[in-house]
Structure 1
């Protein structure tokens, strides 16, 4: 069955359909990762996005469901180059059926690298995956949607790790692996993004804001930013990815849409004169200039383009990183971040 990728610049690409039979739309983004496709497509930070795998070999090894970063596929759709060469195999069929069950349309046989090159030159672009070669009347900007509401937990959950130290974990779209890593430090009070924060009755020793999708300056994030601003004077506050951006905003900084974002596992980051190889998945970043008028200092940057990678308060125990320290591309380059949190809140075992 033929399927079509339609972009807002008027271009269309014909390919082969697999996955769910329906249609989808979203911002077209790409990842340079060469493996970990199950972890990638189940990462909630991809909500509202159609993902291109720049690496052509997809579905060439079995899916290990224990590695899922959430309970379902989170990408809006998939674009691949030659998954078709594997779809008739045991592993490829497993991948195909997994997408069908999760109702995620995919298109194969696309010259993915030409689209990646287009995005790198022109910037982020919106698109549709459709079963007919018909342009839509308009291209919806999914970044205007409250994407966090679609991936955040709906109710309170207590993650008891047996540790006496406790962290308030605000779920804006977290990965499972982040919960597991932070759980080694403290027990977690995991609450929805729209929790009644100012009326929380239980004790916590720190606040943590994880990764998540969409625009950090979306109106749905106002309450979280107000809460961080007030509580930073009382308890340590840390975060990663979207959490890093929300902390920057709460402290008076600004964020900005990146030209095409960072998505991959090979980003070199410089922090305190040391280079770390890190995992990234974000389309927004902290505006460097805006931090000059705040009490936050920039302590880490991406080596390639200077993107802000770590910020730290000059007086309070508030710090955060843009990359994903729970991922292991280095292979353990980001583990120091969790040690820093442990050092900040103390050992409660």
Structure 2
């Protein structure tokens, strides 16, 4: 019955798009029928959005923004009655990898791109002023001009302090030693923060290889983040990371450590900084942990109120891992070991049936999951049946 319902919903959405999208929606419905979830949870197609990456739900809960790999940013109405149709946001603006949208509490939209950050003010009649964005960080001023596009997808969050936090990845698997001074100067391989107008920019955290998942713990306002670790060291090392940064100035160990306590070959002869902070949780090696969110709602049972993480899936492992959503329980401010929550996109071989990128919470307490391989968003909800 659930497969039939999803199939009809997908056909309904397809009718509002061109015929190729209708065919694709049917393909997605077949994939969703394979997804395994804990008892009482269900998954359904929420929207189609090309190369769907990171997600941001507007403070009023009425609109979901979807970053992408290309030059377009998308939005969908948060209508839970039927799958939504993605629309291009600010069609006159040529974005460059607008992977990471995020919101301030007043509804100001920030878009973190490869080498700049834009903001769109709320419009007086509703929505946003799509034709007059302001550059918080102008083009060419976020990273050095000669930087390659490796690890070039940015994410952002506005913190409880009102400042804008942006994760900026290292552009290498392991950076050459002669580049480290430059990267440290720009805050690459770290998390930078600034005022919402771009002033008072500083490096909040260092020693990070490539974080593309940030969120603040609603219990205490502390920043947590995922970190993708070094490739080509073996199938089972180094681990991916979930980290906690309660204050500015912390160093999380990269490139001396390739993930967890595993030393990199390139920096094995160097003494690491004395104050390296190791991860709160070590996650499956090469699973590519990307977007994350603390669950704040009440729809899910109490045992599922913690951190949800989208694992994009490995590309350099003998047997692929990841391509799923995992859950990290939180008890008394401490994180436990991760467990599988939504899986089935990984059949044990590549290509995957889908590749989750990010997770976000809707006002009713359900989750949405983005999938850049399928170009789709899914809604996961709980009804106990």
TM-score by length of 2: 0.29
TM-score by length of 1: 0.31
